Each structure stands twice: as C-alpha cells, then as structure tokens.
Structure 1
C-alpha cells in the first residue's frame, strides 16, 4: 500500500523508469483512498506515491497475465513486489521462476517480517509500529502509546528497499532481496535500544521531552509551539544569554546537563513563562541570530509554504485538475547528476498498450488487453 510505491517513487525521482503493475478495473488500493484531486479521478494518496510511473493493468494470477509479466521481466533490471509472502510464488512468479527468464534480475520483496514466527502475519504500518517499539515511546508520559504521525514502518522499509536495490545494481549481479518492515523499524531504535540495554528499563514515553537532555522539548508560545533543543553546555550558555536570563546559567540547579535533567520541573517552571511572551516568529528570529537550535512547530500547511524548501529546490510543482500540488521530491543534491521528477501520476492502465506492445506479440497483447 505504501512501502513498495514509496520505494519505487524514490527510484523514479533518481531517474529510474518505473512500470507499475495494477489489478484490472480496481488498480492500486490507494486509488480509492480519498481525498480526490478535483475531478481528476486521482486521489492525493495515490498521486503522492506514483508520480512519473507508467501504469499497466495486468492480472498476474492468470496464465496470459503471468506470461506478460515474464515478458516485461526479460529486459527489466529490477522487480519490486509488496505482497504477503508466497503470493508471487503461488502465481509462478517468484524469484526462482523469474531468474530463469532473466538471470541478472534484482528481485526485491518488501514484506512485514523476515523468516520466523511472524513471517505470515498480516503487516500494516500500525502492526509493525506496535511490535517494533516505536509506539511505546511515542506520546505524553501520562498518556497512552501513540502512533507517530508519519507511517514510519512503511517508509523505513521503502528506504531500505532502495538501499538494497542500488547496492545490488552496483554489485552487477542478479539476486533476491527480502526487505522487512518490522526488523527495519527495530533497527531504527538505535540510541533508544542502547539506553534500554544499559538501564534494563523500557525507554520512557515523554512527549517532546528528551530523557537525557534538558531543555529539550516543545514550549508553548504566544501563538503556537516552539521546539528548543539544547544539547551542549556552550549552547546552554548561549541560550540563557539569548533569552536575557544569564542568571540561569549560574544557577547550581542548572549548571550542567545532568543537573538540568535532575531538576527538569524547576527548569520548566523558569522557562515556560518566558517562552509564552513572544511569538514563534520572534523566537525563531532570535534563535537564528544567536545560533541556538530551535524552531517553530509547523503544521503540514505551513511547512509547504516554507521559503527554505522552495529555495532549496526540494519542492516540485504539479497541477492536476486545477489543484496545485508542491510535492517534495528526492532531497539528495548531487554535484554531477540531477533528479527526475515533476511528472503526473498515471490513470489506471494508461500505458498498458504502449508498454506491453513493446514486449508481446500482437495476439498475446490482444488477449491481455481484452482480459482486462
């Protein structure tokens, strides 16, 4: 639903030609997940993950459809599939089947879990976030666990898929790559895991507060929320000067980071009323002037109006049915290459005849098209 499309969208941004195989009549499930973009017949969900791809309707569960996929695989570099384990094998389109068609094929499966007790468990982002620890450490300290606002389980697997695919292509040999959501997300625990191993306690759920640094949290301002991230003693000194409270730096309760963590509530009592006096813009200007790490908490409307994103070239304007969509594209800046983006997402089956016509004889092409 998201991992495979995200991976192939990133590859498309990096210059790959992507042929998206979709179920006849229904297509990708996200084509029906609203909201729709104007009267285009395209949803925002689908458009955000499928720009610049070519759509082919193909029923791979039947003989003609499977044969058509094999014909496409003959000249393909990579196949990415995002089904439950065993689905492609059931259709005779597993790695061992297709390597006989193209021994140089890089075959990437994105699934919920590697081999083990969970291998066949249905895996949505929510499931792997629950099992993988990220939900347990997200949310307020006195509240229930929360799902992070971004589907990090899906995106994590998609990014690992791209890393695996590009590595395999660099090795210049066909091979099978199995990319899991669950194990990938567990690997993202990094420092959270390290702290757990040392303390032998679950990593705490503390909202925006950092358990080992202070002040490191979001504060309410005159018109929103502002994130303050003080990670060193020099930065703490500069922060106190910037907010016109140099006395806090001399306060024994707050002298070192460990002291500030131990006296977190007392520190918050000093800082909360200070941060409430100014707006986000005023604080952001002040923090940048003094070189202090901090930023306003922007919502998803404000972030796409951010002048920095526009000037950095990260946004690519796309207009669909009169609706302007400044989609973010691959943010990697290459000195000797450019990224490919800005293309419209395809209508269902828009390229079926063109793409399949390149690899199938006319009679086989007619059977496949008529079977749709």
Structure 2
C-alpha cells in the first residue's frame, strides 16, 4: 500500500483517468460515442463481437470515423477460441510457457507477473505507432488486432520455433539454455566441483 492505494493498482493505473459506463443505458452509450468522436485511438479488450450491438466495434466506428485507430486485444483471436476469456494465466498455460518455468524436476509454474498481459500491451503500442504513421501519410485509420496467445507464442521465440520447425518439445531446464553459452551447461562444466 502507498497512500491508501494498492501498489498493484498503482502499477496498472497511475496517471490514468477512468470512467465507468453502462452501454445498455442509452445516455451512457451516447457518452461513449461522444468520447470516441474526439479520440484518436480506441483500445478495447472485449470478447470478439460483443461491442457490435452498441455500435462500438471497429466496423461501426470506422464508418463514423474513417481516421480512427482501433486496437482490439482478445485472449485467443477472432477465429477458433474467440469465445474463451483472455487471462494471462490461461495464455501462460496453453502456450506452454508454464512447462518451461522452474527447475527440471519441478512442477509447471507461472511467471511471477502477468507476462503476456504486459507484452501484449507493448505489442499493441508498436501496432498503434505504425497505424499512426500510416494515418499521418494517408489520413486513413487502421485496425490493430492482437491476442494474448499469439503474443505468447511470438514471445517464446526459439522455444516456439523448435516445436513448430523441429518437433522438439521444450522442457524445464532451470537456468540453462538449450543452445546459448554461458547459460548452456557443457558436459565438462557439469563434471567440475
């Protein structure tokens, strides 16, 4: 706690202003549309399709605001798995990250923080910046789509590639690395006392 606020809350919300709106209420929905009408960027993380009934989906807003940059973050994309809620812990488990965490003889473990939530936000910023650059040149808005699972797989670079391209099932290795020194333990290093 700091000044009667949880440090977790502060880490995710410092310097932000917030508003709570019930989109089912016509007046509050009108407020949401008024906010969007003066925004450069909309970032949302609802399940795919759930904002369409309120006219807050990309297609609806792009008609009103062709210059709008719309970033949509989901758990598992807009295809198969679209209805699965997006939780960092789910992405850690389903991507295989948890099977890579910890010592070789330990049970699977999650990362000590919401790793893929954070990385997805960073990927979103990259996409938004590219969309802003595009808009500066063309005047056109863009849809930026991300999902936790794709970011998880992209972030696990060599482990994902080893599985996809080489049929290698990654496992827990403690502090070792499958191919790089000095974290890769050579046979002679294990013999030293």
Counterpart among 88, 107, 118 of residue 144 in structure 1: 107
- Residue number in structure 1 paired with 2:186: 261
Q: So what's the TM-score if we normalise by structure 2?
A: 0.88
Q: Is the 8 A contact 2:48 2:74 kept in 1?
A: yes
| Alpha carbons of structure 1 residues 191 and 91: separation in structure 2 relative to 1, 3 Å | same
Contact 2:89 2:110 in 1 (8 A): yes
Q: Which residue of 1 aligns with 2:52?
A: 89
Counterpart CA distance in 2 for 1:147 and 1:130 is: 8
Partner of 2:143: helix, strand, or coil?
A: strand
| Number of positions where the alignment pairs a residue of Structure 1 with one of Structure 2 | 189
- Structure 1 gap ranges (5+): 1-35, 218-259, 271-372
Please name the residue that 1:49 is paired with. Answer: 12
The answer to whether the Cα contact below 8 Å between 1:136 and 1:146 also exists between their aligned partners in 2 is yes
Please give the alpha-carbon distance, in whole angstroms, between the structure 2 residues aligned to 1:156 and 1:203. Answer: 21
Residue among 63, 70, 78 paired with 1:115: 78
Matched-pair contact (CA < 8 Å) for 1:108–1:178: yes
Please state if 1:155 is matched with 2:118: yes
Q: Which deviations, in whole Å up to 9, do the C-alpha atoms of 1:311-355 show, x marking residues without a partner?
A: xxxxxxxxxxxxxxxxxxxxxxxxxxxxxxxxxxxxxxxxxxxxx
Contact 1:168–1:174 under 8 Å retained in 2: yes
**Counterpart in the other structure of 2:133:** 170
Judge conservation of contact 1:204–1:211 (CA < 8 Å) in 2.
Answer: no
Distance 1:266 1:198 in 2: 32
SS at match of 2:146: strand
What is the CA-CA distance between 1:85 and the residue it aligns to?
1.9
Which has the higher relative contact order, 1 or 2, with Cα contacts under 8 A spaced 6 or more apart?
A: 1
Residue-by-residue CA offset, 1:181-231 (whole Å, 9 max, x unaligned): 1011101121223333565321221111223345528xxxxxxxxxxxxxx
Out of 191, 194, 199, the position equivalent to 2:158 is 191
Shift of 1:83: 1.7
1:338 is matched with none
Deviation, structure 1 residue 144: 0.9
Match of residue 207, structure 1, among 156, 166, 174: 174
The root-mean-square deviation of aligned C-alpha atoms, in Å, is 2.0
The aligned residue for residue 2 of structure 2 is 37
Quick one: structure 1 residues 194 and 176, their matched pair in 2 at CA, closer, same or farther if it must change by over 3 Å?
closer
Q: State the shift of 1:127 in Å.
A: 0.4
Counterparts of 1:213 and 1:69, CA distance in 2? 50
TM-score by length of 1: 0.47
**Alignment equivalent of 1:124, drawn from 47, 72, 87:** 87
CA distance in 2 between counterparts of 1:98 and 1:163 reads: 22
